[in-house]
């Protein structure tokens, strides 16, 4: 306890401390000398690649991956081209940038994932230097090519290559450069001698850092802080310049001699061969001697120093810790800690200390400080002491919210677990909060530490969906790749483990199985998938199309069926495709729907194959309406007729034949008489002909098309009335007994306001319709007469309603009487 401050060094107002994280478990022969090293932030893995030996290019260097504690995770001989740079992505994948601009992606356990290229230009002019950077958009790669141009991809998962503008007067490689992320875009900061430029998508802008005289000297190193907020420059005259990364404010100018900086917060760490220098705002420095070749890994709240033997964290002492442990601190937290210590010793001093805090009513503050400080301490013992003190203090407080304490205990438990030597993720609390629990679980999963991940999930009570289920899914995905076990065993193991976990997507697991070449296993796994919609895409990929189709139909999701149908259409030859559809009516009707708009001809083929002659006939009839030319129309109709006959639809065939005849007839008349006729229905044709007085032709149509008498009479009647040819109408009415009765005659006359003519036909109307006829011509008396004669109650009623009570007084009476008599009967 007393030694907590032993590794503290003051720098201005603050303290810095260097904590040993691990003694490295690796056994490196030459230390880190001549190695390409990449260590992932947030306590991620470390990749090592021995530098290429130019002299013996055939020698294959070993690529090794270690955990932060130096435990080997993977190791394999490097067989591809010359690697320029190693780097890690945000999701713990290793990027190896080769000389020709190809980037190879490996997972943390050395499994090859994929590769991509940084473009032709890069591969032609070769990679000179590379930087891998992280931004809110993911992991990016920036490359300086042999042609001294920069190419940049902001997110390697969605590669969009951007070629940045040229830097003026650049003769050789720039002395140093760095990638910045500002204003939602990535920029490159380049130093060429004493000139500094910012390159963004469109322009190259020269900049001058304030306070750094331009002619001073050339900038040899630059570094950007983890948060992209600060920038440090180092000139060849040994001047360190620190400022905000937008180059607007200067924080510090410091003169020294050094070679390699890494910058942090408002303080910079400068390292050269045997000396590490921390430079703060206040122009003071702390020096550490390094025994070994080391690399620096910037973190959110410090710098990790990795050497051949040790792994250390250098950070500013967090406020809470400083308050409590600073020598002779009188902060409430410090007093509480002291009080607890005395209490353990069973000394009454405990009370004195407590009283002191309580007098200032700072007890809750004290508890809070202890809890917070515990979070920032690495030693479990120290953590415990602090937490005990906090819990001791809590006893004297009522209403102190317990959440902070409880969650801190939980978090620390998790952190200590992952910091364990065997796991090797040295996360600080700040980093953990920034990274979130989900990401931590992912990291554990990447390392295949499934049991630990599940424990963590359960312990932190993460919702099953995001927690346990997810881990189990990853486990299953890994499980199915194990080649040595048989399909049955694996399928069973997976289903047993995953049985009661919610939200498991078996299709994803099956996909993995398929990718590792185990189709049979994949199908078995798919059987467990409850949502048939999820099964389909994979089944298609595995070329199990019939199964996919039936699953898609089962799912009831039409869209899915479409997906399969369209896939099959491109995959199979036409015959097979149609055959398959034939067995699946739903799919067939969907495809027909599609064809109707997209491929008329296919539709025809479909009907043809099914021998659906009736549909074919309909198809032709429809097609005929799209044709402008009469010949084409008739040709289509003829095909329709043939099809209808084949379908034994004589009726449709006959009607279609009639239509062809009609069309020809219309055409002929059109040519002869100049009347617009083609396309009219038979009825309309006759109406038109009648209106222009071509009675002979109408007669011909009447005979040819066996028009029913009734229709013919209606037609004539209407046409004559339309022309108000009353004489002809009368003649017509007498020509034969009317098949439609004579009431229509009356009505049609009334419609044309000719009561006189209408009356002529009233007498001819049948008895049943007499009343109506009389009423139609406005002859109420006649109607009354007829109604009474017919002794029909409802008819009398109708007439009554038409009588005006005042004028037809007598009539009303008579009707009422008649009604009464009828009713009596």
Partner 1 sequence: MAHTEWRDAPELPDFSLLKRLARDQLIFLLEQLPGKKDLFIDADLMSPLDRIANVTILKQHEVDKLYKVELKPIVSSSDQLCFLIRPRIQTVKWISDLVNADKVAGRFRRYKIIFTPQKFYACETVLEEQGVYGDVTTDEWNFYILPLDDDILSLELPEFFRDNFLEGDQRWVTTAGSALHLLQSVYGSFSKVYGIGRCAKMVYESWRELMEEGEQRTRQPEFAKVFLVDRDVDFVTPLCSQVVYEGLVDDLFRIKCGSVEFGPDVTSSDKSIKVMLNSQDKVFSEIRNEHFSNVFGFLSQKAKNLQTAYDKRRGMDIQQMKAFVSDELKGLKQEHRLLSLHIGASESMMKKKTKQDFQELLKTEHSLLEGFEIRECITYIEEHINRQVSMIDSLRLLCLLSITENGLLSKDYRSLKAQYLQSYGIKHLLTFANLRQLGLLEEQQAGETLTVMESKVGKLVNDKTVGKLTDAFSSLAKKSNFRALSKRLALVPKSGEEYDLRVPRDMAYVFSGAYIPLSCKLIEQVLERDGWTGLEEVTRMLNGQEFAVTGAPNPRNKTDAQRIVLVMFLGGCTFSEISALRFLGKERDTYYVKQIEYMVNIKLSI
Residues that bind partner 1 (CB under 8 A): 530-531, 556-560, 562-563, 566, 585-586, 589-590, 592-594, 597-598, 614, 618, 621-622, 625, 651-652, 655-656, 658-659, 679-684, 705, 707-708, 710-711, 714, 718, 740, 772
Give Cα separations from 570 to 48, 263, 356, 723 (angstroms).
Answer: 47, 57, 83, 63
Nearer to partner 1, 156 or 640 (CB): 640
Query: What is the distance between the alpha carbons of residues 170 and 244, in angstroms, rounded to a whole number?
Result: 26
Q: Is the dihedral of CA 547, 552, 554, 558 positive or negative?
A: negative
Query: What is the distance between the alpha carbons of residues 444 and 437, in angstroms, rounded to a whole number?
Result: 11
Joined together, the tokens standing for residue 278 give: 């921390």
Q: How far is the CB of 18 from partner 1 (least distance, A)?
A: 48
Q: How far is the CB of 228 from partner 1 (least distance, A)?
A: 26
Q: How far is the CB of 602 from partner 1 (least distance, A)?
A: 13
Nearer to partner 1, 285 or 655 (CB): 655
Q: How far is the CB of 545 from partner 1 (least distance, A)?
A: 16
What does the DSSP assignment read for 86-144? EEE-TTS-EEEEETTSEEEEE-TTS-EEEEEE--HHHHHH-EEEEEEEEETTEEEEEEE
Residue 403 burial (CB < 10 Å; 0-12/13-18/19+)? exposed
Q: What angle do CA 24, 25, 26 make, to 5 degrees?
A: 95
Q: What angle do CA 528, 534, 535 make, to 5 degrees?
A: 60
Nearest to 538 by CA among 562, 563, 572: 563
Nearer to partner 1, 282 or 632 (CB): 632
Nearer to partner 1, 275 or 595 (CB): 595
Q: Is 58 helix (H, G, I), strand (E, B) or coil?
A: coil
Nearer to partner 1, 186 or 618 (CB): 618
312: Cα within 13 Å, side-chain hemisphere: 21
Contact 92, 474 (CB under 8 A): no
**Using the 8-state DSSP alphabet, how is residue 465 labeled?**
T
Query: What is the distance between the alpha carbons of residues 116 and 120, in angstroms, rounded to a whole number?
Result: 12
What does the DSSP assignment read for 578-604? HHHHHT-HHHHHHHHHHHHHH-HHHHH
Q: How far is the CB of 755 from partner 1 (least distance, A)?
A: 17
Q: How far is the CB of 678 from partner 1 (least distance, A)?
A: 12
Q: Is 207 helix (H, G, I), strand (E, B) or coil?
A: strand
Q: How far is the CB of 733 from partner 1 (least distance, A)?
A: 17
Could you identify the residue written with the tokens 């001047």?
239
Query: What is the distance between the alpha carbons of residues 669 and 685, in angstroms, rounded to a whole number?
Result: 10
Give Cα separations from 69 to 40, 88, 310, 339, 444 (angstroms).
Answer: 13, 17, 9, 37, 15
Nearer to partner 1, 125 or 685 (CB): 685
What's the length of the chain? 825
Q: How far is the CB of 619 from partner 1 (least distance, A)?
A: 9
Nearer to partner 1, 410 or 718 (CB): 718
Could you identify the residue written with the tokens 């937008």?
246
Q: How far is the CB of 38 from partner 1 (least distance, A)?
A: 35
Q: How far is the CB of 559 from partner 1 (least distance, A)?
A: 5
Query: What is the distance between the alpha carbons of residues 398 and 386, in angstroms, rounded to a whole number?
Result: 20
Nearer to partner 1, 558 or 754 (CB): 558
Nearer to partner 1, 396 or 705 (CB): 705
Q: How far is the CB of 104 from partner 1 (least distance, A)?
A: 28
Buried b (16+ CB within 10 A) or exposed e, 154-167: bbbeeeebbebbeb
For helices 468-479 and 487-498, angle between their N-to-C axes, nearest 10 degrees: 180
Query: What is the distance between the alpha carbons of residues 266 and 244, in angstroms, rounded to a whole number?
Result: 9
Nearer to partner 1, 338 or 747 (CB): 747
Could you identify the residue written with the tokens 């479909």?
606
Q: How far is the CB of 396 from partner 1 (least distance, A)?
A: 41
Nearer to partner 1, 353 or 619 (CB): 619
Question: What does the CA dihedral 712, 713, 719, 725 come to, rounded to 10 degrees?
Answer: 140
Contact 404, 387 (CB under 8 A): no
Q: How far is the CB of 581 from partner 1 (least distance, A)?
A: 13
Contact 140, 156 (CB under 8 A): yes
Nearer to partner 1, 301 or 658 (CB): 658
Neighbours of 136 (CB within 10 A): 9
Nearer to partner 1, 396 or 594 (CB): 594
Query: What is the distance between the alpha carbons of residues 598 and 144, in angstroms, rounded to a whole number?
Result: 50
Nearer to partner 1, 123 or 638 (CB): 638
Q: How far is the CB of 632 from partner 1 (least distance, A)?
A: 16
Q: Is 810 helix (H, G, I), strand (E, B) or coil?
A: helix
Q: Which residues are within 8 A (CB) of 85 and not within 5 positions of it... i.e. 6 or more apart?
A: 36, 38, 95, 96, 97, 127, 129, 130, 131, 132
Q: How far is the CB of 616 from partner 1 (least distance, A)?
A: 12
Q: How far is the CB of 775 from partner 1 (least distance, A)?
A: 10
Nearer to partner 1, 314 or 686 (CB): 686
Q: How far is the CB of 603 from partner 1 (least distance, A)?
A: 12
Nearer to partner 1, 557 or 781 (CB): 557
Nearer to partner 1, 33 or 710 (CB): 710
Q: How far is the CB of 336 from partner 1 (least distance, A)?
A: 43
Rounded to the nearest 5°, which phi and psi values hold at 583? -85, -5
Query: What is the distance between the alpha carbons of residues 195 and 185, in angstroms, rounded to a whole number?
Result: 22
Nearer to partner 1, 309 or 655 (CB): 655
Neighbours of 488 (CB within 10 A): 11
């Amino acid at each position: 306890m007393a030694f907590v401050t032993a590794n503290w060094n003051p720098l201005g107002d603050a303290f810095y401390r260097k904590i040993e994280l691990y003694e490295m478990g690796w056994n490196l022969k030459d230390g880190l000398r001549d190695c390409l090293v990449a260590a992932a932030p947030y306590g991620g893995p470390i990749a090592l690649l021995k530098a290429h030996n130019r002299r013996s290019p055939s020698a294959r260097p070993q690529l090794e991956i270690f955990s932060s504690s130096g435990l080997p995770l993977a190791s394999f001989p490097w067989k591809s081209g010359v690697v320029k740079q190693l780097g890690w992505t945000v999701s713990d994948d290793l990027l190896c940038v080769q000389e020709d601009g190809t980037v190879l992606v490996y997972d943390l356990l050395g499994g090859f994932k994929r590769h991509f290229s940084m473009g032709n230009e890069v591969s032609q002019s070769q990679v000179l230097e590379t930087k891998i950077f992280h931004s809110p958009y993911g992991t990016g790669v920036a490359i300086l090519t042999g042609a001294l141009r920069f190419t940049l991809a902001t997110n390697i998962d969605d590669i969009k290559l951007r070629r940045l503008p040229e830097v003026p007067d650049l003769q050789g490689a720039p002395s140093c450069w760095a990638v910045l992320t500002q204003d939602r875009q990535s920029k490159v900061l380049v130093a060429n001698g004493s000139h500094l430029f910012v390159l963004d998508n469109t322009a190259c802008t020269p900049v001058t850092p304030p306070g750094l005289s331009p002619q001073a000297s050339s900038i040899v190193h630059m570094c950007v802080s983890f948060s992209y907020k600060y920038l440090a420059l180092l000139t060849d005259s040994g001047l360190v310049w620190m400022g905000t990364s937008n180059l607007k404010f200067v924080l510090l100018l410091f003169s020294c001699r050094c070679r390699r900086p890494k910058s942090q917060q408002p303080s910079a760490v400068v390292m050269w061969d045997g000396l590490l220098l921390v430079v703060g705002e206040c122009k003071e420095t702390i020096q550490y001697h390094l025994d070994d070749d080391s690399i620096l890994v910037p973190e959110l709240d410090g710098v990790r120093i990795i050497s051949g033997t040790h792994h250390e964290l250098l950070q500013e002492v967090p406020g809470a810790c400083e308050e409590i442990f600073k020598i002779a601190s009188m902060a409430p937290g410090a007093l509480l800690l002291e009080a607890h210590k005395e209490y353990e010793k069973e000394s009454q001093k405990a009370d004195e200390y407590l009283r002191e805090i309580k007098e200032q009513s700072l007890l809750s503050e004290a508890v809070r400080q202890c809890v917070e400080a515990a979070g920032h301490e690495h030693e479990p013992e120290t953590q415990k002491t602090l937490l005990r003190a906090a819990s001791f203090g809590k006893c004297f407080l009522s209403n102190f919210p317990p959440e902070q304490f409880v969650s801190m205990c939980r978090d620390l438990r998790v952190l200590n677990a992952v910091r364990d030597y065997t796991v090797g993720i040295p996360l600080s609390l700040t980093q953990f909060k920034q990274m979130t629990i989900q990401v931590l679980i992912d990291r554990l999963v990447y390392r295949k530490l499934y049991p630990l991940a599940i424990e963590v999930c359960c312990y932190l009570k993460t919702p099953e969906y995001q927690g346990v289920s997810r881990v189990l899914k990853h486990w299953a995905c890994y499980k199915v790749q194990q080649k040595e076990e048989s399909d049955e065993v694996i399928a069973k193991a997976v289903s047993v483990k995953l049985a009661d976990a919610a939200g498991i997507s078996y299709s994803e697991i099956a996909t993995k199985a398929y990718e590792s070449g185990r189709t049979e296993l994949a199908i078995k796994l798919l059987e467990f998938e409850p949502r048939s919609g999820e099964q389909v895409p994979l089944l298609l990929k595995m070329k199990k199309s019939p199964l996919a189709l039936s699953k898609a139909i089962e799912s009831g999701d039409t869209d899915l069926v479409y997906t399969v149908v369209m896939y099959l259409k491109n995959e199979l030859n036409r015959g097979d495709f149609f055959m398959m559809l034939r067995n699946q009516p739903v799919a067939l009707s969907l495809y027909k729907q599609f064809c109707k708009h997209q491929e008329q001809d296919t539709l025809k083929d479909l009907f043809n194959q099914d021998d659906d002659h009736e549909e074919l006939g309909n198809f032709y009839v429809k097609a005929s309406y799209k044709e402008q030319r009469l010949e084409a129309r008739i040709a289509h109709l003829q095909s329709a007729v043939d099809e209808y006959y084949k379908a034994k639809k004589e009726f449709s065939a006959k009607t279609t034949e009639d239509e062809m005849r009609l069309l020809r007839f219309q055409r002929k008349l059109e040519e002869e008489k100049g009347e617009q006729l083609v396309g009219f229905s038979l009825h309309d044709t006759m109406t038109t002909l009648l209106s222009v007085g071509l009675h002979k032709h109408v007669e011909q149509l009447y005979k040819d098309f066996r028009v029913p008498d009734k229709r013919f009479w209606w037609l004539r009647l209407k046409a004559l009335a339309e022309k108000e040819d009353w004489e002809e109408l009368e003649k017509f009415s007498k020509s034969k007994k009317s098949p439609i009765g004579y009431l229509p005659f009356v009505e049609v006359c009334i419609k044309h306001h000719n009561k006189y003519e209408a009356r002529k036909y009233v007498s001819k109307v049948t008895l049943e319709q007499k009343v109506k006829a009389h009423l139609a011509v406005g002859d109420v008396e006649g109607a009354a007469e007829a109604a009474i004669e017919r002794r029909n109650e409802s008819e009398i009623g109708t007439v009554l309603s038409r009588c005006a009570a005042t004028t037809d007084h007598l009539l009303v009476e008579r009707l009422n009487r008649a009604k009464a008599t009828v009713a009596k009967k």
